[in-house]
Structure formats: structure tokens, C-alpha cells
């Protein structure tokens, strides 16, 4: 059903039934997107199982809007983001800069090697 | 109009060279609160020249010096928090408390940018006797950021403080639906002491986005919006040999297990679904109910009754968006999936606020 797969961008929630955790995960994993996914449970083991397998860049455990706080970065997977790095936090440093690598011989007595 | 007609902001000056303009409409009551220029390549050319002119001096400043401006900017965001939040409420339609939260996040990302002098330091190592290797970070150059309507202040601030503290100069192309916040950000940056040309705002729509992707003087492009446009901007920018980072849409699944805490789960799911009127890429839009969780769904229905349009539910951005959402909600209502959902909980009513907002309760 389209409504269960497409982004609505409005105050709408689709409720989908799943018999077990693996079926729930396969529903999540079949999405083209991969921004966020959350699990609500009191079981640390189940939270771990789902957060490891969910195909999304931002995971919530008992949190509905799992926006990472600084210095962690904001960014999804799959068709929720194109390009490497993330747009905020530590990962954004890589995007907004280019790295210069300088090699310096500062000791005239240094050994002769392939860099000489 | 409550706000003066907007202009592009280039090289620290208000530039009014555009003939084409469009209204800025408040989703709250449909009133025209300003007008915005719809620019093209000419404005991007001007902005690139300004940014390129500012770049040598700005990028040569020590990072600590650049960060100082953002300490000041952070205090200005705090000082103007209520005014900035009111502006978001007016041009975007989200509630005042959501607008305040947005500014608080802008403050947080600015705080982070002030720590970049620690995080972006280089590395040095003696790699063989008498020989050292050093790695240092340099800014990319002139960068452009294209931002969406749903967070008029926060998403621009995702990139402005970090990119600028790291030494880049920027052209911001905000959504033409919420352009006032962008000019306000420019004012605050100027007040904080940012040199002219380091930050520029060019308003517009498709034509200006294409100009950004194509202009050889822009080295990196970030975009936040729909997946459809994210793909186009990514492909077009990278084919012009630019760096690109483009964020698209989402369909976020909340997997609810039978042992979940009923109250916490229901309130979190309801808030995630309805916050910012669902117009955010972090919104929960699919709840996957595993096994027997009807008690949680019942509680979710109770929570959904607390969502009151105009009180804790803001407006949908525009009539155009509403048209997109409406058929989907109808489809969902007919096919039994919905908030407070499944067949047990049929649609009881649709509430329209001022023609623009709807909610199924």
C-alpha cells in the first residue's frame, strides 16, 4: 500500500501489524529510505537486535525523534542521503574542509632513504 | 505586509535587482507577510564574486578568530530567541514552542562550531628519522547551501556556523516559502562581526538551484529537501565536479514490541507523528506493531486526542502541500490504516483550520 511506503510529510501515522520482530525488521528494511528508525521495548537485548539490523542512519531506543545531539552528526542512509559525510557534527568537518598533507625533512643528518 | 519586501543579501548589502517576485504567505492565516525575489544566474554570479573576494582574508584568519564571531552570534540567537521564534511561527506555521525548540537547536549547533578549533586541529608525526608528516585542514572555498521550508532557522544553521568557522564563504538559498528567517540570520551574522561577502543570501527557486549546481566558482553544495530533488542536485553538482551532500526524504518506522512501556511509547509516537505537523524528515510515519500491542494502540488513541490544531499542532506549509497530503489521508482512511488506526478506530472527523491544516482524529 502506497501510504505505508511513501513519505506523506503531514501529521499521519500508518500502523502496520507484524507477527514477530524479524517480520517487523523486514518491513523497515524494505523501505527505500533510511533516515531514522526506532524501537520501543524494555529489553536491552531486543533493542540491540533491532538497532543493529535496522537499515537507517539514526536509531532511537524508546525515542520517537532520534535526532543526534552535537557532536554527533545528523544523516540518514539509502535514499535519505546522497554523498559521503554528514551535514552536522564531527562528520561535517570532512565535508567542509580539504586535507593538506605535508612531508618535511627537518634534520639534515637524517638517513638516506627513498624520500631523499 | 508585516515585513518589508525582501532582497538578496550580497557582500553585506541588500541587493534589489530582481524583477520577478513572489508572495510570502503565512500558513497560519493565509496573509501575505512579505515578498521575495525569484533570482537566477545573475544573482548567483554576483554572490560568487562577493564570496570569492571575501575568501582570501576570511580563510587566512586563524580558526580561533573565526570562532569568536560565532560566540557572539550564539549570544545574539539567545538574545533574539523570542523574536526569531515568532518569525518561524509566522512564516512556517509551526507552533511557538516548536519554533523555540528550533532556535535552541540552532544555538546548540553554533556552540558546536565554536569547538571546531579543538576538533579540526591537524596532526603531525615523525614518520621516519628526521622526517615528519603533517596533515592540516583547509577550507573548500565558496560553498552553497540549499535549505527547505520545514526548519527556516535550524537547517541553515546546520551548515552556516560549521562551514564558516572552518574558513569557507557561503551562499545560502533558502526555501522561497520561508525566506524571512534567512535574511534575519544575515542581519545577526553582520551584527556579530562577520565580514561582508563571507555569507550571502540569494533567494529564488529552481533556476537559482540550477545556477548553484552549474556555477564553476562554487566548490561544494549541500541540499536538504525531497529525495527527488536531492538526487537531481547531487547528480548535477557532482557532474560539474563539485562536492555534494544532499539530504532527502524519509519513511521512519517505529517498531513497537509488546513489552514496551505503554505511556512512554504512546506519547513518543504521537509526538513524533504530529510534531511540526509531520513536516520533518524525522517524523514517525509508520508504526510497526509487533504481536499484541493493542493496549499501546489504545493509549496512542488517547494521546492523539490531545493533539489540538492551533494549540500543539501547527499548520501545514501551503495549499500545495495540503493537496498532496489530503488524498493520501483519504486513501489511508479508506484503507483502514491511520493514526488512531486500524478498523477498530475509524476516522471520526477531519478538522480543518483556516483551510490549510488538517488532522484525522
How large is the ipTM? 0.92
Contact B35, B176 (CB under 8 A): no
Q: pLDDT tens digits, residue range B116-162?
A: 999 999 999 999 888 899 999 999 999 999 999 999 999 999 999 99
The neighbour count for residue A111, using CB atoms within 10 Å, is: 11
Shortest distance between the Cα of A62 and any Cα of chain B, in A, equals: 7
Contact: A1, B337; criterion CB under 8 Å: yes
pTM of the prediction?
0.91
Q: Which residues contact B131 (CB under 8 A, 6 or more apart)?
A: A103, A104, A105, A106, A107, A110, A115
**Which residues in chain A have their CB less than 8 angstroms from residue B246's CB?**
81-83
Tell if the CB–CB gap between B338 and A14 is shorter than 8 Å. yes
Q: How far is A90 from chain B (nearest CA, A)?
A: 8
pLDDT band at B305 (very low <50, low <70, confident <90, very high): confident
User: In angstroms, rounded to a whole number, what is the distance separating the alpha carbons of residues B307 and B299?
Assistant: 13
Nearest residue on chain A to B292, alpha-carbon basis:
A19
Mutation target to probe the B interface, by most B beta carbons within 10 A, among A9, A26, A47 is A9
Contacts of B316 in chain A (CB under 8 A): 10
Residue B145 catalytic? no
If pLDDT is split at 50, 70 and 90, which confidence band does B235 have?
very high
The residue of A23, A83, A114 whose CB has the most chain B CBs within 10 angstroms, and thus the best one to mutate to test that interface, is A83
Residues B66-89: tens digit of each pLDDT: 999 999 999 999 999 999 999 999
Choose the weakest-confidence range: A24-28, B33-37, B347-351. Answer: B347-351
Name the minimum distance, in Å, from the CA of B212 to any CA of chain A: 17
Tell me whether residues A15 and B297 touch, CB distance under 8 A.
yes
How much is the pLDDT for B96?
94
Q: In what order do the strands lie in the sheet with B284-290?
A: A14-18, B284-290, B252-256, A36-40, A58-61
Q: Which of A102, A87, A53 lies closest to B222 in space, CA to CA?
A: A87
Which domains, ranges and CATH numbers included, belong to chain B? 8-123+137-247 (3.40.605.10), 252-360 (3.40.309.10)
Q: Say whether pLDDT at B184 is over 50.
A: yes
pLDDT of residue B355: 27
**B112 to A38: CB separation less than 8 angstroms, yes or no:** no
From chain A, the residues in CB contact with B325 under 8 A are 8-10, 12
B324 vs B212, more confident: B212
In degrees rounded to 5, what are phi and psi of residue B196? -60, 145
For residue A56, the chain B residue with the least C-alpha distance is B252
pLDDT at A3: 67
Residue of A nearest to B269 (CA): A64
* pLDDT for position B342: 28
Mean pLDDT score of chain B: 88
Tell me if A93 and B247 make a contact (CB, 8 A cut-off).
no
Q: How far apart are CA A2 and CA A14, in angstroms?
A: 11
Task: Determine the residue among B132, B255, B322, B352 to mutate to test chain A binding: the one whose Cβ has the most chain A Cβ atoms within 10 Å.
Answer: B255
CB-CB neighbors (< 8 A) of B167 in chain A: 97
Q: What is the pLDDT of residue A116?
A: 59
Mean pLDDT across B97-112: 97
What is the average per-residue pLDDT within B13-34?
88
Q: Which of A92-101, B97-106, B119-128, B230-239 has the lowest mean pLDDT?
A: B119-128
Question: Which chain B residues touch A42 with a CB distance below 8 Å?
Answer: 259-261
CA B252 to CA A78: how far, in whole Å? 12
**Residue of higher predicted confidence among B361 and A83:** A83
d(CA B27, CA B177): 10
Q: How confident is the model at residue B111 (pLDDT cuts 50, 70, 90)?
A: very high
Cα–Cα dist B258/B256, whole Å: 7
Cα B96 to Cα A42, B28, B176, B178, B348, distances in angstroms: 33, 12, 21, 16, 28
Q: Which of A10-19, A95-104, B180-189 has the lowest mean pLDDT?
A: A10-19
Please work out, in degrees rounded to the nearest 5, the angle formed at the alpha carbon of residue B275 by the alpha carbons of B274 and B276: 110
Domain boundaries, chain A: 2-96
Please tell me the distance from the alpha carbon of residue A115 to that of residue B336, in angstroms, as a whole number: 71
Task: Return the higher-pLDDT residue of B204 and B343.
Answer: B204
Q: Are A52 and A31 in contact (CB under 8 A)?
A: no
Q: Do B245 and A58 touch (CB under 8 A)?
A: no
pLDDT score at B360? 33
Q: Report the pLDDT value the prediction gives residue A1, as an integer from 0 to 100.
A: 62
Q: Name the fold adopted by A2-96.
A: Aldehyde Dehydrogenase; Chain A, domain 2 (3.40.309)
Give the tens place of pLDDT for each residue, A26-60. 999 999 999 999 999 999 999 999 999 999 999 99
- What is the band of B24 on the pLDDT scale with cuts at 50, 70, 90? very high
**B47, B15 contact by CB (below 8 A):** no
Lowest-confidence range among A91-105, B17-31, B276-290, B347-361?
A: B347-361
Residue A6: how many other CB atoms lie within 10 Å:
16
Q: Write down the pLDDT at residue B326.
A: 56
pLDDT attached to residue B359: 35
Confidence check: pLDDT of B334 > 50: no
Instruction: Nearest by CB to A46, from B132, B257, B328: name it.
Output: B257
**What does pLDDT average to over chain A?**
91
Is there a contact between A100 and B338 if contact means CB atoms under 8 Å apart? no
Kindly tell me if the per-residue pLDDT of A63 is higher than 50. Answer: yes
Q: State how far the Cα of B232 lies from the Cα of B221, in Å rounded to an integer.
A: 12
Residues of B in contact with A4 (CB under 8 A): 286, 337
The pLDDT of residue A10: 76
**pLDDT over 90, % of chain B:** 72
Task: Write down the pLDDT at residue B314.
Answer: 79
Tell me the chain B residues in contact with residue A18 when contact means C-beta distances shorter than 8 Å: 255, 288-291
CA distance B62 to chain A (A): 14
**Distances, alpha carbon B71 to alpha carbons A71, B34, B121, B198, in Å:** 17, 31, 19, 17
Contacts of B251 (CB under 8 A, 6+ apart): A5, A6, A7, A31, A32, A33, A35, B285, B286
Model confidence band, residue A2 (pLDDT cutoffs 50, 70, 90): low
Residue scoring higher pLDDT (B168 or B360): B168
Amino acid at each position: 500500500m502506497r501510504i505505508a511506503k511513501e513519505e506523506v510529510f503531514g501529521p499521519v501515522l500508518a500502523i502496520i501489524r507484524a507477527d514477530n520482530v524479524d517480520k517487523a525488521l523486514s518491513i523497515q528494511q524494505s523501505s527505500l529510505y533510511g533516515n531514522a528508525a526506532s524501537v520501543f521495548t524494555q529489553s536491552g537485548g531486543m533493542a540491540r537486535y533491532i538497532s543493529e539490523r535496522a537499515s537507517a542512519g539514526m536509531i532511537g531506543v524508546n525515542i520517537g525523534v532520534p535526532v543526534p545531539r552535537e557532536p554527533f552528526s545528523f544523516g540518514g542512509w539509502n535514499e535519505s542521503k546522497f554523498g559521503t559525510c554528514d551535514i552536522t557534527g564531527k562528520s561535517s568537518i570532512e565535508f567542509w574542509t580539504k586535507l593538506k598533507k605535508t612531508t618535511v625533512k627537518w634534520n639534515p643528518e637524517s638517513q638516506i632513504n627513498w624520500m631523499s | 505586509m508585516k515585513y518589508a519586501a525582501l532582497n538578496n543579501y550580497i557582500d553585506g548589502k541588500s541587493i534589489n535587482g530582481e524583477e520577478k517576485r513572489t508572495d510570502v504567505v503565512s500558513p497560519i492565516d493565509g496573509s501575505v507577510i512579505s515578498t521575495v525575489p525569484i533570482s537566477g544566474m545573475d544573482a548567483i554570479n554576483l554572490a560568487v564574486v562577493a564570496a570569492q573576494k571575501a575568501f582570501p582574508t576570511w580563510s587566512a584568519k586563524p580558526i580561533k578568530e573565526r570562532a569568536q564571531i560565532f560566540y557572539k552570534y550564539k549570544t545574539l540567537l539567545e538574545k533574539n530567541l523570542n523574536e526569531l521564534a515568532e518569525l518561524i511561527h509566522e512564516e512556517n506555521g509551526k507552533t511557538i514552542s516548536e519554533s523555540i525548540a528550533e532556535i535552541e537547536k540552532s544555538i546548540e549547533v553554533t556552540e558546536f562550531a565554536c569547538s571546531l578549533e579543538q576538533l579540526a586541529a591537524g596532526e603531525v608525526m615523525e614518520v621516519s628519522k628526521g622526517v615528519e608528516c603533517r596533515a592540516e585542514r583547509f577550507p573548500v572555498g565558496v560553498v552553497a547551501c540549499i535549505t527547505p521550508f520545514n526548519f527556516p532557522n535550524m537547517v541553515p544553521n546546520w551548515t552556516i556556523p560549521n562551514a564558516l568557522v572552518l574558513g569557507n564563504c557561503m551562499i545560502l538559498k533558502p526555501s522561497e516559502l520561508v525566506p524571512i528567517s534567512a535574511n534575519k540570520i544575515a542581519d545577526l551574522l553582520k551584527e556579530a562581526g562577520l565580514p561582508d561577502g563571507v555569507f550571502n543570501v540569494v533567494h529564488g527557486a529552481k533556476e537559482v538551484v540550477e545556477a548553484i549546481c552549474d556555477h564553476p566558482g562554487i566548490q561544494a553544495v549541500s541540499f536538504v529537501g525531497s529525495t527527488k530533488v536531492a538526487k537531481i542536485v547531487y547528480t548535477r553538482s557532482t557532474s560539474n565536479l563539485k562536492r555534494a551532500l544532499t539530504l532527502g526524504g524519509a519513511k521512519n518506522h517505529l517498531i513497537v514490541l509488546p513489552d514496551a512501556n505503554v505511556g512512554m511509547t504512546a506519547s513518543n509516537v504521537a509526538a513524533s507523528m504530529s510534531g511540526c505537523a509531520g513536516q520533518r524528515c524525522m517524523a514517525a510515519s509508520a508504526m510497526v506493531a509487533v504481536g499484541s500491542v493493542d493496549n499501546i494502540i489504545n493509549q496512542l488513541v488517547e494521546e492523539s486526542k490531545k493533539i489540538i490544531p492551533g494549540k500543539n499542532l501547527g499548520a501545514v506549509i501551503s495549499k500545495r502541500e495540503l493537496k498532496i497530503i489530503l488524498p493520501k489521508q483519504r486513501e489511508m482512511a479508506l484503507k483502514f490504516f491511520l493514526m488512531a488506526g486500524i478498523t477498530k478506530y475509524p476516522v471520526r472527523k477531519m478538522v480543518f483550520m483556516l483551510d490549510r491544516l488538517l488532522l484525522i482524529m
